[in-house]
Structures are given as C-alpha cells and as structure tokens.
Amino acid sequence: MRITRRDFLRCCLASAVALGLEASTIGLLKKALASGVDLPIIWLNASACTGCTVSLANLSVTSKGTGEHDHSLTTSAAVSGPADIADLLLNTIHLAYNTTLMGAAGELAVQTLHHHTAGKFILIVEGGIPTLFDGQTCILWSENGREVTALEAIRRLAPKAQHVISVGSCSSFGGYPGAEPNPTGIKSVEVVSGVKT
C-alpha cells in the first residue's frame, strides 16, 4: 500500500505527538518530502536509551485489519497512514540506516551508510552528542580499524545532509544524558554540527 505524502506527514505528526517532538520537526519532514525524491534516511543513535526508535517501532496509527484509526495516537480523525512499522518501512520511507531496525551489522552496515551518504540523504539523530574526551564515550561504528564517534559522525554527516532532524529531547537539548553533572559533555546536534535542526 502506497500512501500520499500528505498522509505520511499526518502520520509523522501523530508520531511527533507520541514522541514529544516539536511541531517544527513536521515542517522539516514536509520540506524534505516536497522534492518528490525518495531520499534515504540515515538514523544515528548517539547517547540515548533508544526510546524514540522503540516508540516508532511500536507505533500503530490504524487498528490492524479494520482500517479504523487509533485515535489515541492521532490529533485528527482524518489521519490515515501506514498500519504499522513494517508498512511504514517497506512501503512509505527509505530508512537506509538505523542499527536498531536494520538487519545488517558491522562492515556491511558501514558500507550501507557510506553508500547512502555519498548522495542526497536525510539525517535523523537520536541521542545527545558527547563532546568531552574527544567524544570517545560514544562510538557509532568502526571503519578501516578506526572507531568513529558520534561527535565525528555528526560533524561529518550533518553538513552534507539535505535535512537534519533531531528526534527527542536528547538530540534536541541534551536530555537526561546531558543533565548535571554532564560528565561526558553532552550537547545537542545543532550545537555540535552548527546545522539548524
């Protein structure tokens, strides 16, 4: 089942409400989808509990099999969209990289990441970015025997991305990992990258 961009944005609004995201996030998604190009989404999990990814994976906008909306998760009775996360991932968006939801791991996952970041892509970041100790408290992957920190990954990928979206309070404001005494120097994606999210 293919859905319209409008329906997808409505589903994203419901997801944003469920995840506690700012309304401006939906504006970024709308802008990203306006081009009509199916941009790959690179979703990085930095210093976080992965709660935003899990919330997305558990999201169901419509009641399975009935086509009726689950109004507890939507802001409008007119919202339609993917029945579940599988429908969203298989038929609506191109989630190219998310270590929690993808089957690939290790070098294959890193190859996938490099392949999809060679062109246009959307960067979604979950989790705050550790800045102390050269970011070594949050390693995202290894390439050529060298560990790549969340700090390096964000600084490398954010300027190249068509759009950068901070998901949740950790990547937007530091969240609980950035609370005092903040021993790893957690900062938001926007502060670390200099790119508006």
In sequence order, what DSSP letters do the residues of 117-174 get, joined into one string?
HSS--EEEEESBB--GGGGTT-EEEEETTEEEEHHHHHHHHTTTSSEEEEEHHHHHH-
Q: What is the pLDDT of residues 117-159, one digit of tens each?
A: 999 999 999 999 999 999 999 999 999 999 999 999 999 999 9
For position 107, what pLDDT does the model report? 93
CA distance 75 to 188: 28
User: Of 176 and 84, which is predicted with more confidence?
Assistant: 176
3-state secondary structure of 100: coil
In DSSP terms, 42 is beta-bridged to 97, 123
For position 3, what pLDDT does the model report? 58
Q: What is the pLDDT of residues 158-186, one digit of tens each?
A: 999 999 999 999 999 999 889 999 999 99
Q: Which domains does the chain have, with CATH numbers?
A: 24-59+93-193 (3.40.50.700)
